[in-house]
Chains A and B, each alone.
Chain A
Amino acid sequence: SQTIHQWPATLVQPVGSPLSLECTVEGTSNPNLYWYRQAAGRGLQLLFYSVGIGQISSEVPQNLSASRPQDRQFILSSKKLLLSDSGFYLCAWSVPSGGLYEQYFGPGTRLTVT
């Protein structure tokens, strides 16, 4: 069965510090991978998605970046955090199954920028 891991689970970082969040998927090959952010009391905002190694598409301009160095690894980074980067960061994966692209989420990383 497939599992998705994210770490760390929680993170408190000062403004201007760098960020690296990691996501790995097990039990599947060549998944589509996604990074979302959920601000407090808000909906899910798609930040980045990837259909393969080294292939990254950005949904919104921001000071975040993403990389996919391996098939089942997805990394979210920032060189300098802003207060507005606080939120719940979620990684998700999907593979086609009968024409459906169901997305499954990891446990998330709660980031507080102080």
Chain B
Amino acid sequence: QKEVEQNSGPLSVPEGAIASLNCTYSDRVSQSFFWYRQYSGKSPELIMSIYSNGDKEDGRFTAQLNKASQYVSLLIRDSQPSDSATYLCAVNKYLQGAQKLVFGQGTRLTINP
């Protein structure tokens, strides 16, 4: 079982709709969770971080965390063509004296005008 799993997609969503991206993780002691957006040919950009159960909203983005189910999701409301990118889920891990991130493979999202 992979430490962090995401559906690779592609996920196709019409413009203006809600895009829902999902991620599961295997390590129950994980405390912090992150969503990165990566445009083709560019580096990942941090868009959301969450460490408490429940929802965290930032503009059109909402991150949802359920530690009991080991599940974290990202909702994008009013999807725009500019949201088309690969979204990476990452989970924090403390190992050998350092904080590290374990990344999922990413979900490719396409917003159709």
Q: Which residues of A contact B (CB under 8 A)?
A: 32, 34, 42-44, 46, 49, 51, 57, 88, 90, 94, 96, 99-108, 110
Contacts and interface: CB of A to CB of B under 8 A. Distances in A.
Given A32-B98, A57-B96, A102 B49 contact: yes
| Max count, chain B CB within 10 A of own CB: residue among A32, A88, A99, A105 | A105
Contacts of A105: 36, 43-46
Interface of B: 31-32, 34, 36, 41-46, 49, 51, 88, 90, 92, 96-101, 103-106
Interface of A, secondary structure class, is: strand
Contacts of B32: 99-101
A101 B88 contact: no
A46 B106 CA distance: 15
A106 B43 contact: yes
